[in-house]
Amino acid sequence: MDWIQLAIGAGFGLAFIIVVMSMAGLTVVAERKFCGFMQGRLGPNRTTIPILGSIPFFGRMITRMGLFQLVADGSKFLFKEEVLPGHVNKFYYNLAPVVALIPPLVPLVVLPFGQMTLADGTIRQLIIANVDIGMLVILAFSSLGVYGTVLAGWAANSKYPFMGGIRASAQMISYELTMGLAILPVFLWANVPGSTEGLSIANIVVFQQTHWFVYLQPLTALLFLVALFAETNRAPFDMAESETDLVGGFHTEYGAFKFGIFFVSEYAHVIVGSGLFVLLFLGGSNFLPMLANPWPVGIAGAILSSLWFIAKTSALVFFFIWIRWTLPRFRYDQVMNLGWKMLLPVAIANLVFVMVLLAWLTPVAAQ
């Protein structure tokens, strides 16, 4: 076992988790600011912390942008009293937030977050584990994401969380199928017959140096985007948490840090989902379609390409927020209808169409 490689991988993993958790916290603040702007009001702009808030120019700027709210929320969740209600199933009650947090974070190991151009001209994708079943890992872990919601709903031993948990699980299972079928055309296109890369996402990023899939396969991108909204329980598909809007859905019985974990896991799921969409359809860390990448050689290029990837992911997270505050919520039967009767046939038809198209476009010698 190569200990150095393991240590590097672990270090990258830790850095990744820190970045994603910070981004999740920032997304919370961004959501509150942007939803305020869209509603004609300012979001949080007065929260400040004792010493850092008094720095002459930057303290005031950060306060006005609401960024200290992140610290305030985090500390609030840490310091609140942890209540264990008497009527809950104690084992699952304590287990559910953990099970909710792990599935969004594990797929980070297979996401190529940047590219480094080495001195001899070869381009290496920066990825923690470049396995050739990368996409399958992601699909598997996002399926596990249902368990957190279901366990929370079950453990709470009360009507509203139970209903919230059931509806969430039905919704997430339904849209798994569409998501899987929406991903297949991308991999079909990117892999020539006889390729050994399989489901590796790094391969997709390499392929998108010339053309991006968002305009090569717009319908696939749309299907995947809708399925992503449903998988992450984000509006307009967010019945699980605000369905019984007055009561709170599956996390009703949770307070303090456990609720904080649910909260952060939802936003981490949003970020990882948008990162995945950017990788599969929007070119990952490539600069622009049909232009050569301007990333300089070495570490600087690696950092720049990672920042560009983060910028694209943030733009998509803004799109998530934008859609949330534009569209009304779907009713439960409308969600099921959409998933099974409308999206699934379209996804299958799309897959068949792409298969036929590829068979027609691929020269006979390569078949």
The residue ranges that bind other proteins (CB under 8 A) are: 34, 36-42, 45, 322-323, 325-327
Shortest reach from residue 327's CB to other proteins, in Å: 7
* CA-wise closest residue to 64 among 92, 100, 36: 36
Indicate the residue among 99 and 225 with the shorter CB distance to other proteins.
225
Q: Provide CB contacts within 8 A for 115, sequence distance 6+.
A: 123, 124, 125, 126, 205, 284, 285, 286, 293, 295, 301, 302, 305
Owner of token pair 């031993």: 157
Indicate the residue among 43 and 255 with the shorter CB distance to other proteins.
43
Whole-number Å distance between alpha carbons of 67 and 64: 8
Give the H or E element holding residue 117. strand 114-117
Q: Terminus-to-terminus CA distance in the chain, angstroms?
A: 39
Indicate the residue among 54 and 195 with the shorter CB distance to other proteins.
54
Indicate the residue among 237 and 263 with the shorter CB distance to other proteins.
237
Shortest reach from residue 245's CB to other proteins, in Å: 20
Ordered DSSP codes for 144-178: HHHHHHHHHHHHT-SHHHHHHHHHHHHHHHHHHHH
Shortest reach from residue 326's CB to other proteins, in Å: 4
Indicate the residue among 169 and 232 with the shorter CB distance to other proteins.
232
Residues pairing with 155 in the sheet: none
Per the document, the length of the chain is: 367
Question: Reduced to 3 states, what is the DSSP secondary structure of residue 48?
Answer: coil
Shortest reach from residue 38's CB to other proteins, in Å: 5
Asked if 34 contacts 125 with a C-beta cutoff of 8 angstroms, the reply is no
Asked if 335 contacts 171 with a C-beta cutoff of 8 angstroms, the reply is yes
Q: Provide CB contacts within 8 A for 343, sequence distance 6+.
A: 175, 178, 223, 226, 227
Indicate the residue among 41 and 87 with the shorter CB distance to other proteins.
41
Indicate the residue among 38 and 355 with the shorter CB distance to other proteins.
38
Indicate the residue among 102 and 323 with the shorter CB distance to other proteins.
323
Q: Which two tokens stand for residue 257?
A: 């840090």
Indicate the residue among 39 and 362 with the shorter CB distance to other proteins.
39
Shortest reach from residue 342's CB to other proteins, in Å: 9
Shortest reach from residue 334's CB to other proteins, in Å: 11
Shortest reach from residue 214's CB to other proteins, in Å: 15
Whole-number Å distance between alpha carbons of 246 and 23: 28
Shortest reach from residue 37's CB to other proteins, in Å: 4
CA atoms 138, 142, 148, 154: torsion sign? negative
Residues pairing with 52 in the sheet: none
Instruction: Report which DSSP code applies to 297.
Output: S
Shortest reach from residue 242's CB to other proteins, in Å: 19
* CA-wise closest residue to 259 among 80, 90, 88, 16: 80
Whole-number Å distance between alpha carbons of 320 and 270: 8
Indicate the residue among 215 and 322 with the shorter CB distance to other proteins.
322
